[in-house]
Structure 1
Amino acid sequence: MSQLVLFAIDICAVVLLVFGLYFPRHRRRDLVVAYLGVNVGVLAVASALSASNVGAGLGLGLALFGVLSIIRLRSTELDQHEVAYYFSALALGILGALSTTSVWLSAGLMALILAVMYLGDHRRLLRHYRHQILVLDSAVTDHVALVAQVEQLLNARVHAATVQRLDLVNETTVVDVRYSVAGRGLTAGAGRPAQAGAHR
């Protein structure tokens, strides 16, 4: 009976994780299916292995290896917060399959995962800090001049600027920029000039 209760708690937890936290914030429909599939798949495999003679550690190791392979061999780009949601869905499935622990302990750990994801991925947490990859229409070899140019371009304070490609023939510079806009009076969509290709 306790196993069925854990299954129900896991389903409720992953639904809250996906439809209460992830999708309203990031709106990627393809990853909704991935997170639900990872959670239910790990829950089923770990539950079946825990009821057999195969060690639970082997089952959990295989599940982790499978998820890591999916993330490593993905065909589309994933941000770090999306990888965190992957592992959260995985952890919820594992906790839902561990019948050796008490229901209250597993439920408490699931609630802890949801609370951490709610706070860690909250839009107000470090909301002034941004990340963009800019393509400048000039070849800048001096780092100080590069930082000054990017700060003027973004109207922000640059914390780190890493040159990814410097093309002296076509006179372009691709730079990975991490910056903050606190106190600059910028809106959430500001700092995306027309000549720059950017991602958050």
Structure 2
Amino acid sequence: MLTGLAMDLVAIIALAYGLYYRRHHRRDLLFAYLALNVGIFAVVSLLLVQRVDIAVGFGLFGVLSIIRLRSSEITQQEIAYYFVAIVLGLVNGIAAAWPLTALLLNGVLLGVMYLADHPGLLGRTRHQVVTLDVVHTDPDALRLDLESRLRGRVLHCVVTQIDYVRDVTVVDVRYAAANAKVRVR
């Protein structure tokens, strides 16, 4: 179990600090990923030692599935980090008896996250919800306005709200930043 704990701590520090925090700089989620991972590892280790009924395990994951992250808005990317933090805790808790298997799975999970979230892969693509102080009736005029404001090429945009009284348009935009600098880490 100590080997599994050591591998888990190395893996979650690599994920939370080495990948996530250095790329996204959210200290609150760094702590959340560490705490969630270590908690999952502890519970899984205890369940394996105690040999409790499988219903308890399903109950645990039922409780985890109803937890809502209400404190702040998180992105799909951050949810992926949550998922991998959970999986690392599970893998290292369950596969502690097979350290090479756990090590291989840790490497695969961390490698996939490194590549999938690498700034060089999709570093110029951005997502923004923009509130405009004008209502555009012409989609081409809307696109031109967004491109000038965002300083990039609009790839896709969806108008989510129009308020003719206040002359406001809310648009969900995906765009390629013209001068985005890509930092490789």
TM range (shorter): 0.7 to 0.9
Change (3 A) 1:22 1:63: farther
Counterpart Cα distance in 1 of 2:95 and 2:171 = 50
Residues 1:21 and 2:1 are matched in the alignment: no
Change (3 A) 1:73 1:33: closer
Q: Relative to structure 2, which stretch is displaced further, 153-162 or 121-130?
A: 153-162
CA deviation vs aligned residue, 1:88-114 (integer Å, no higher than 9, x gap):
110010011114762111110011111
**Which residue does the alignment assign to 1:51?**
49
TM-score computed with the length of structure 2 as normaliser: 0.88
Contact (CA 8 Å) 2:95, 2:102: kept in 1 or not? no
Q: What is the one-letter code of the residue matched to 2:99?
A: V
Q: SS state of the match for residue 174, structure 1?
A: strand
Q: Which has the higher helix share?
A: 2
After superposition, the CA RMSD in angstroms is: 2.1
Identical amino acids, percent of aligned pairs: 41
**Which residue does the alignment assign to 1:152?**
148
CA deviation vs aligned residue, 1:20-64 (integer Å, no higher than 9, x gap):
1111111111112211111111111111111223245742x3444
**Which residue does the alignment assign to 2:65?**
68
TM-score computed with the length of structure 1 as normaliser: 0.82
Matches within 5 A, 1:136-151: 136-151=132-147
Counterpart Cα distance in 1 of 2:4 and 2:144 = 55
Q: Relative to structure 2, which stretch is displaced further, 143-152 or 23-32?
A: 143-152
Matches within 5 A, 1:124-143: 124-143=120-139
**Which residue does the alignment assign to 2:94?**
98
Q: SS state of the match for residue 11, structure 2?
A: helix
Q: Which fold has the larger relative contact order, with Cα–Cα distance below 8 Å and residues 6 or more apart in sequence?
A: 2
Contact (CA 8 Å) 1:50, 1:56: kept in 2 or not? no
User: Where does structure 1 lack aligned partners over 5 or more consecutive residues?
Assistant: 189-200
CA deviation vs aligned residue, 1:106-125 (integer Å, no higher than 9, x gap):
11001111111111111111
* Number of aligned residues: 182
